Structure 1
Amino acid sequence: MIPEELIKRIRQIQIYTSRAVDASFAGQYESVFKGRGMQFDEVREYMPGDEIRTIDWNVTARTGRPFIKRFVEEREMTVLFAVDLSASGEFGTVSKLKNELAAEFCAVLAFAAAKNNDKVGLLIFTDRVELFIPPKKGSRHILRLIRELLGFTMPKRRTNIPLALDYIARVVRKRATVFLVSDFIETDFKKPLSLLNKRHDVIAVPVRDRVEIAMPAVGLIEVQDAETGQIMLVDTSSKRFRAQYGDHSSRRFSELKNTLRSINVDLIPIATDKPYINDLIQFFHMRHRRH
């Protein structure tokens, strides 16, 4: 039995994301995420102007007349959301938690994929693989993915990104577009991500809260690391502390961007204090220009 509150949240996200997809980027999604190859369509008789290299020599030899192979772009693609729902995602100081933002972001793209008749799958991970739903088509399947994302509960766990990447490499055989959604607290993932990106099109989605970017001056506060349980007392009224905090945050994010750039992995940074639709549209424009 699904709790009524969860049903309400799923319905709200369904309404919001459906409108966002229709109004903002359904066409852009289709133009950017094209099929990843060509598939055989038919053999037909050669006509003047056809490419000689497309001639099917076997059929030509059997019939005594030149025939060519015709190929069409393979439109159907596979989308996989690999979502980090470890304890550090249960944080947010604006309108939603990071994990809620991650779920909503995935829902928007999942509905766009469904409108494009693509297969969509889901991997939820922490420091272990919590749930894997193989890629399938259909709106009911999409709603199940959203329900699993929103309703996921677990003991406080840490993050293991390499484990999730290795799992994807083992179970997803057909080339896919993989959205890796995480706050990227862990940093030791460059090698497995680089290997996975050679077989699939991996896009990193860093999820952040504004307090993780810049600490406000709110006096003496107690902060706790959600994944380790470590507690610290900090004086946020100190300009020196806030400056060091901001520098550290900026440096870590720059390191993440540099790591991703070095292995040709694109990123879509999203934050709990601003709409992510603009970030998605900007990403689509960037991909479209590159293609």
Structure 2
Amino acid sequence: MFQAHPFTANTAHTAQIDPQSSAQASGVRAELHQLITLRAQAQRLDLAPRGRVLATRSGGHLSRLRGRGMEFDESRVYLPGDDPRNMDWRVTARAGTPHVKLFREERERPVWLLVDQGPSMRFGTRVAFKSVIAAQVAALLGWAAVDRGDRVGGLIFDESRQLERQPAARHAGLLPLLERLATPLGATSVTDDRHRLATLAAQLATRVRPGSLIALISDFAAVTEADNAWLARLAAGNEVLFIMVHDPLEAQAPALGRYPVLRDGRRGIWDLTTAEARSRYQAAFAQRLEHLERLARLHGAHWVRLTTADPVGPTLAQALGGRRARGALNARSTR
């Protein structure tokens, strides 16, 4: 019924248990009407830019976002070093003391959803496949962005197809992405390009304008140290959400035993009959998790981790809750 990955996190192989019933199983495929109805839950999500951009000094901002329009936020008392071009002359005249204007990012910003629907994502032992949870995460983020007045675009891909949409206002950018996420997948390819995420992310980095919000949604099963380069390009001048979706079985090995699986079209056995085998299984996942968290910290990305057993809306809302506060703290630390 469910697809699974072998022991090593970076393997190109996939496995499937009882494929005859997978098409009928609940949670195997995202439904368009469900993705649309998630708009109500998206109201809980806070996608406002992290921190506040203080455009009071020449040569830089206190935000990592650069090169975009600004909206007036408030005025404060002039401090030595403030850019005189940002003087608020009306408030200065009224208060009798020099004041400068503070600015924040313009409300409408590009939001990119990069969603992995590849073979390793079509696996789940709780509630739904990882691919379905990823689709729900993308829908929630997309609706939250639409309701903020942001422009939504993205790149949805599996092992053989991809759909890219430039950010567009209102429903024009999001709905084609939701339709693609709800499109039934074809037969699983026996050859899985482990570097497809890295390849497409690197291409996306050339299209994204500075000041965008980029949500990477995947299990990141094939991410290695070599992926540092494309992530650095994506994070340069943008805010990145690093959202990992995994199944509880990936983090915690099943009970001792031998498990029949189907890998690359061939039947095989997972041999977990020894404590050593279970230990290797769990160590591989722990190593992948540590590597991904390190990459997120290195590039200032907001790290989010969901399992297929979590309630998606509430979990995502809670995970994003401290995002702006952390962004403001990081901004102050760079002054």
Q: Same fold (TM over 0.5)?
A: yes
Aligned residue for 2:177, secondary structure, equals helix
Higher percent of residues as helix: 1
Q: Residue 136 of structure 2 aligns to which amino acid in structure 1?
A: E
Q: Which of 259, 263, 272 matches 2:308?
A: 272
Distance of aligned partners of 1:149 and 1:55 in 2 relative to their CA distance in 1, 3 Å threshold: closer
**Paired position in structure 2 for 1:204:** 242
1:190 partnered with 2:228: yes
Deviations 1:214-240 (A, max 9, x none): 122273212345xx5676422335333
| Aligned ranges 1:151-190 → 2 under 5 Å | 151=183, 153-154=185-186, 155-156=188-189, 157-159=192-194, 160-186=196-222, 187=224, 188-190=226-228
CA contact (8 A) 1:162 1:192 kept: yes
Q: Partners of 2:209 and 2:117 in 1: how far apart?
A: 24
**Paired position in structure 1 for 2:133:** 101
CA contact (8 A) 2:47 2:144 kept: yes
Deviations 1:196-252 (A, max 9, x none): 211322221111111111122273212345xx5676422335333223312221122
Q: Residue 210 of structure 1 aligns to which amino acid in structure 2?
A: P
Distance of aligned partners of 1:18 and 1:33 in 2 relative to their CA distance in 1, 3 Å threshold: farther
**Paired position in structure 1 for 2:16:** none
| Aligned ranges 1:51-62 → 2 under 5 Å | 53-54=84-85
Q: Partners of 2:277 and 2:211 in 1: how far apart?
A: 46
Across the two proteins, how many residue pairs are aligned to each other?
263
Q: Partners of 2:147 and 2:310 in 1: how far apart?
A: 26
CA contact (8 A) 2:121 2:131 kept: yes
**Paired position in structure 2 for 1:12:** 34
TM-score w.r.t. structure 2 length?
0.68
Post-superposition offset of 1:34: 7.3
Q: Partners of 2:268 and 2:51 in 1: how far apart?
A: 45
Relative to structure 2, which stretch is displaced further, 182-191 or 257-266?
Answer: 257-266
**Paired position in structure 2 for 1:287:** 323
Deviations 1:235-278 (A, max 9, x none): 33533322331222112211221232223222211111112334
Q: Residue 181 of structure 1 aligns to which amino acid in structure 2?
A: I
Q: Which of 47, 54, 61 matches 1:29?
A: 47
Q: Residue 246 of structure 2 aligns to which amino acid in structure 1?
A: R
Q: Unpaired runs of 5+ in structure 1? A: 1-7, 43-47, 57-67
1:255 partnered with 2:291: yes
Q: Which of 76, 79, 94 matches 2:108?
A: 76
CA contact (8 A) 1:34 1:75 kept: no
Deviations 1:128-183 (A, max 9, x none): 77221111111354222211112152452433222112211222235311111111
Q: Residue 276 of structure 1 aligns to which amino acid in structure 2?
A: V
Aligned residue for 2:31, secondary structure, equals helix
Aligned residue for 2:153, secondary structure, equals strand
Aligned residue for 2:322, secondary structure, equals helix
Post-superposition offset of 1:78: 0.8
**Paired position in structure 1 for 2:170:** 138
1:150 partnered with 2:182: yes
**Paired position in structure 2 for 1:233:** 269
Q: Which of 109, 112, 119 matches 2:151?
A: 119
CA contact (8 A) 1:207 1:271 kept: yes
Q: Residue 237 of structure 2 aligns to which amino acid in structure 1?
A: R
Distance of aligned partners of 1:278 and 1:239 in 2 relative to their CA distance in 1, 3 Å threshold: farther
C-alpha RMSD of matched pairs (Å): 3.3
Q: Residue 192 of structure 1 aligns to which amino acid in structure 2?
A: W
CA contact (8 A) 1:205 1:270 kept: yes
Q: Partners of 2:282 and 2:86 in 1: how far apart?
A: 62
Post-superposition offset of 1:283: 3.0
